Structure 1
Amino acid sequence: MKTLKTIAEFRAARAAFPQMGVVPTMGFLHEGHLSLVRRAKAECGAAAVTIFVNPTQFAPHEDFGRYPRALARDLELVEAAGADLVFAPDVSEVYPEGYDVKVEIGGVTDRLEGEVRPVHFVGVATVVAKLFNITQPTRAYFGQKDAQQCVVIEKLVRDLNFPCQIVVCPTVREADGLAMSSRNAYLDETQRQNAPVLYRALKAAEARYAAGARNAEALRAAMHTVLAEVPNAGVDYVSVADPVTLEELDQVANGALISLAVRFGATRLIDNIRL
Structure 2
Amino acid sequence: MMAALLAIGIDPQRSILFHQDHNPDHTELAWLFNCITPVGKLRRMTTWKARLATSRNANESEVDESLLNAGLLTYPVLQAADILLYRATHVPVGEDQKQHLELSRDIADTFNHTFKRKPKLFPLPGYVETPSRRILSLRDPTSKMSKSSPDRDSRILLTDTDDQIRSKLRRAVTDSTVGITYDPVERPGVANLLTVLAACMQTDVLEVASQFENKGHGDLKAEVTDAVIELIREPRAEFERLRNDTTYLAEVAREGARKARAISEETIKTVRNSVGLS
TM-score of the alignment, normalized to the shorter chain, above 0.5 = no
Larger RCO, structure (CA 8 Å, separation 6 or more): 2
Q: Rg larger in 1 or in 2?
A: 2
Larger strand fraction of residues? 1
TM-score, length-scaled by structure 1 = 0.23
Going by fraction, where is helix more abundant, 1 or 2? 2
